[in-house]
Chain A
């Protein structure tokens, strides 16, 4: 500007104005820069924040898929219950945080005020159960057993019960068809934890804080199929939470149904027989311990030989799976986990492990034959076997003199197998083993699938244990310090003597270890399912199948999503001749051997039954564990009861009843085909039509 007016406009004022102009424009530039920073540099973050601000999601839980037996009978499904829930957000707006409302609800539902308040409080490190573990924004269930009368009162007098609602909701139900609980196989559900929600965030099917997930059993293994996909409706809301509009809606997708290999009728018989056998054993006097048998726990498995499918699987003691529904109560939980409860949650068929006793002798015999001994050779069945100063008794059996291996299996003669094991041990160098010992016994045991999990589709399967040289070495290294400490002490009791010996040469494979192993005693551990798989392999000609409980996954609309085929995972190291020898010997167990007294009158010509009894020593003052493994061409039935005496004595009748039920064998030995539950294995899948209705294959046939 050039016009300096006559009125005395001076350069000072011009300079001042320029300064003001510079100031003004730097202020505006600052604004522009800050605007750029917020909108361009950090825009994405703010966009996400804005999205989180105004979106509220409401979750419609998906109906969990049913678990069906092989014929389509539901073992786990859902029922509609009236669930009363409390909304913490709304309660917290009340002057007393909703205490008065909760008290009123408690009165209406006939619950204690404290109980209701506890269920609604949020879990944290210091809050004991019961408390709410899910999201505080999700309605918290107070009870799922409201009567329609109570629900009606809550809904009609809504203004008296702000934040409380009563809605019909699908709740898990375990209907125990045919009286079969199948408790441990089914497993149970419980609410997800925050960690699990966070972990699942990036997966295809993220968990919601309100979700329940399978914690054990089939509910856990097949959780991702059963769970379905929750429906999420996103609402646009304003600052006050008022809904402005619906943004996105994804309908809930019901979970798929799991068809299992279980036959609930057989399952029911197996559960009953296991319970009866244990009950009976408890009334019998054990002359060794001088008291009645404890029979505190047991397990039974029915396998299909040609597929590895589990027809029935029972574990005792069991429990009512419905105690988990709607959140387990404190008393129930304590009852299930108390120290004297014998762990009803444990599925002993796959998680219980112990020495198999004489049922192991088919493994020992196979090892001996593969090591070059003649199955039909002559072996001395003496009353005891002595090595140095140690004497090994022929526990179950008497002295039979020189007999074949087959006869030794029939009458369960220990000393024959002691001799075989001892000679093999000596051939491997005895206490000074050769560089590469043959170890036929251990090798064969591994080849029979022992010492590792079978891969059954149930969680937390136990692997058992083969106490081979490697294991002994590791075990010694682990315990050496403890043993040596005891050895250095002045104690002179039995434990101290053992510790002293173990301290120096605990890693050595001693003759006694080998002898114990040969008859399934000592450090060897097997699970009922491992043993059942071995006998099923003898029944099918030598193939080891991976046991399976899941048969197929069928979507709610009837589409078969998965059809699980039998998985052969191994082959017995036995040739056809040896398998036949073992089949003959195990048939002899039923007809004239150690189990014959329980199977008199069995129609062996129509249904050839094989078996092997076992009576395993347990540690301490525990009574012996009974084992009975039996098989036909179609199925294998294994039962074990701890602290119940001998295999045939404790389980003989029960196992026979199971077989009778499967084939329809009458007490007099005749066969009533109409009474047979499962004379041949299920082959067809149950059909589920488009509406989700289950059409059992058997009904279609009829």
Chain B
């Protein structure tokens, strides 16, 4: 008996911690676990797929098969830590830091065009610092989401107006326009993502529809102008050409899309098994651990695995939209909606490009593609979503 008592007694303090964790109002209970698990599952899957795509590639791994595996695990860990940090800080507390974040990321993007910047695959979007490459544009996404949310929600959340006023909208557009102008020439993919974030935010913040329509019209006019003025590099035009007719030149421009489709199509229902993809082992799909990571899933895990990834992404977006609708203020709604626009467009463009229904653009697949900055930014987005959720639950 005494032994028993002793045991209970010795466990008592810990039990208190567990109880606190499990308490109805505890952070652990209020976190959106569905969102968390789905995001973690995607990151884990991505890491395994990256390992499959890179373990034989001595040309880039320097002979260490786990080179990319280890790095991506570190990336996910840092991303997770950033998400926890954001949750701890809370998106409202971040509000005051938004101008600083915005200016910093804009400055970093400008740095890309200095000798510190490097060009990868015809895109000048990376900063190379001490052997590490960073993509400042990824942080710009966070900055735009937060910045626009702050400006557009300011008067509404203060109860002064029902919807953002024209002045606020113009300010918000100006805020988004600056990084957009920086990237539009050299990084079409990023420009497209930023545009869709702006569009999503304009829609979600309740601004009159003419603004959204105007933005779309501006996008079309801009595209025509860019085309007509010949601002685009040849490789960018080629990508679009190959999209329109991939059989045009199967060994040249259409090669990537063709091989990607072969990889995915040959996976069939159950796939060829992890590490058994012939297209993957044979390196027939270029950029497979980054932009074309979905093809590894398609080939090795088949319809079941690749479809599972789409389902997980759907899960993440569903939870994000749920958080957007359930948030207590416009500031939070805009952040959540901006993140939905951001992630959903990137997922659709990236997977769509692998499946051959979207033109090729250098856009990573959130959670799955290899890359530090993109992983960090994505997990910051998850942190923001969780933070909104926590805030909502508190006040509910």
Contacts and interface: CB of A to CB of B under 8 A. Distances in A.
Interface of A: 1, 3, 5, 7-10, 12-14, 16-17, 19-21, 24-25, 27-28, 30-32, 34-36, 38-40, 42-47, 49-51, 53-54, 236-240, 244
Contacts of B322: 1
Given A7-B328, A236-B278, A13 B205 contact: yes
Interface of B: 56, 156-157, 159, 162-163, 200, 203-206, 259, 261-269, 278-279, 281-284, 298-299, 302-303, 306-307, 310, 313-314, 317-318, 321-322, 324-330, 333, 337, 340-341, 344, 347-348, 351-352, 355-357, 392, 395-396
Contacts of A28: 310, 313-314, 317, 344, 347-348
Nearest to B156: A8
Contacts of B205: 13
21 contacts: A7-B330, A10-B162, A10-B206, A13-B206, A13-B330, A16-B206, A17-B337, A24-B317, A28-B344, A30-B352, A30-B357, A31-B310, A31-B348, A35-B264, A39-B267, A39-B302, A43-B265, A49-B266, A53-B282, A238-B283, A244-B56
Contacts of B284: 53-54, 238-239
B329 A46 contact: no
A38 B352 contact: no
Given A7-B328, A53-B259, 8 more contacts: A10-B163, A30-B357, A39-B267, A42-B265, A50-B265, A53-B282, A53-B284, A54-B282
Contact of A39 (B159, B303, B344): B303
Nearest to A27: B348
A31 B352 contact: yes
Contacts of B347: 28, 31
Contacts of B344: 24, 27-28
A16 B204 contact: yes
Given A38-B264, A40-B268, A53 B279 contact: yes
B279 A14 contact: no
The 5 lowest CB-CB distance pairs between A and B, nearest first, are A46-B265, A50-B266, A238-B282, A43-B268, A47-B266
Given A32-B310, A36-B303, A45-B265, A5 B204 contact: no
B310 A35 contact: yes
Contacts of B314: 25, 28
B326 A20 contact: no
A17 B324 contact: yes
B263 A50 contact: yes
A12 B282 contact: no
Contacts of B313: 28
Nearest to B333: A13
Given A5-B328, A17-B321, A47 B279 contact: no
A491 B276 CA distance: 86
A238 B281 CA distance: 7
Nearest to B344: A24
Contact of A3 (B56, B310, B396): B396
Contacts of A244: 56, 281-282
B142 to A, nearest CB: 19
A51 B205 CA distance: 51
A20 B267 contact: no
Given A46-B265, A49-B266, A16 B203 contact: yes
A7 B159 contact: yes
B333 A9 contact: yes
Contact of A5 (B267, B282, B329): B329
Contacts of A25: 314, 317-318
B310 A53 contact: no
Nearest to B317: A24
Nearest to B321: A21
Contacts of A20: 200, 203-204, 321, 337, 340-341
Contacts of B200: 20
B193 to A, nearest CB: 14
A13 B262 CA distance: 43
Contacts of B337: 17, 20
Nearest to A39: B303
B261 A46 contact: yes
A42 B313 CA distance: 24
Given A17-B337, A31-B355, A53 B268 contact: no
Contact of A50 (B279, B306, B330): B279
B330 A8 contact: yes
A12 B326 contact: no
Nearest to A36: B303
A552 B335 CA distance: 88
Contacts of B162: 8, 10
Nearest to B203: A16
Given A13-B206, A39-B298, A50 B329 contact: no
A5 B326 CA distance: 9
B198 to A, nearest CB: 14
Looking at B203, B266, B299, B347, the one whose CB has the most chain A CB atoms below 10 A away is B266
Given A8-B330, A24-B340, A39-B268, A50 B396 contact: no
A32 B311 CA distance: 9
Nearest to A16: B203
Given A13-B206, A20-B200, A31 B263 contact: no
Given A3-B396, A17-B337, A35-B307, A43 B278 contact: no
Contact of B283 (A13, A27, A49, A239): A239
Given A17-B321, A17-B324, A53 B265 contact: no
Contacts of A40: 268-269, 303
Contacts of B163: 10, 12
A559 B157 CA distance: 96
Contact of A14 (B159, B281, B318, B325): B325
B265 to A, nearest CB: 3
A9 to B, nearest CB: 7
A96 to B, nearest CB: 22
A36 B325 CA distance: 31
A317 to B, nearest CB: 52
B340 A3 contact: no
Most chain-B Cβ atoms within 10 A of its Cβ — which of A7, A54, A236, A237? A7
Contacts of B327: 5
Contacts of B395: 5
Contact of B261 (A1, A12, A38): A38
Contacts of B269: 39-40, 43
Contacts of B352: 30-31, 34
A50 B264 CA distance: 10
A39 B264 contact: yes
Contacts of A1: 322, 325-326
Nearest to B357: A34
A240 B59 CA distance: 12
Contacts of A45: 265
A240 B318 CA distance: 43
Contacts of A17: 204, 321, 324-325, 333, 337
Contacts of B302: 39
A647 B395 CA distance: 125
Given A13-B333, A17-B204, A54 B265 contact: no
Nearest to B59: A240
B278 A53 contact: yes
Nearest to A46: B265
A7 B157 contact: yes
- Among A1, A21, A31, A51, residue most surrounded by chain B Cβ atoms (within 10 Å): A31
A40 B302 CA distance: 9
B157 A35 contact: no
Contact of B278 (A14, A16, A34, A54): A54
Contacts of A39: 264-265, 267-269, 298, 302-303, 306
Nearest to A245: B281
A47 B200 CA distance: 39
A263 B156 CA distance: 111
B306 A35 contact: yes
Contacts of B281: 54, 236, 238, 244
Contacts of B282: 53-54, 236-239, 244
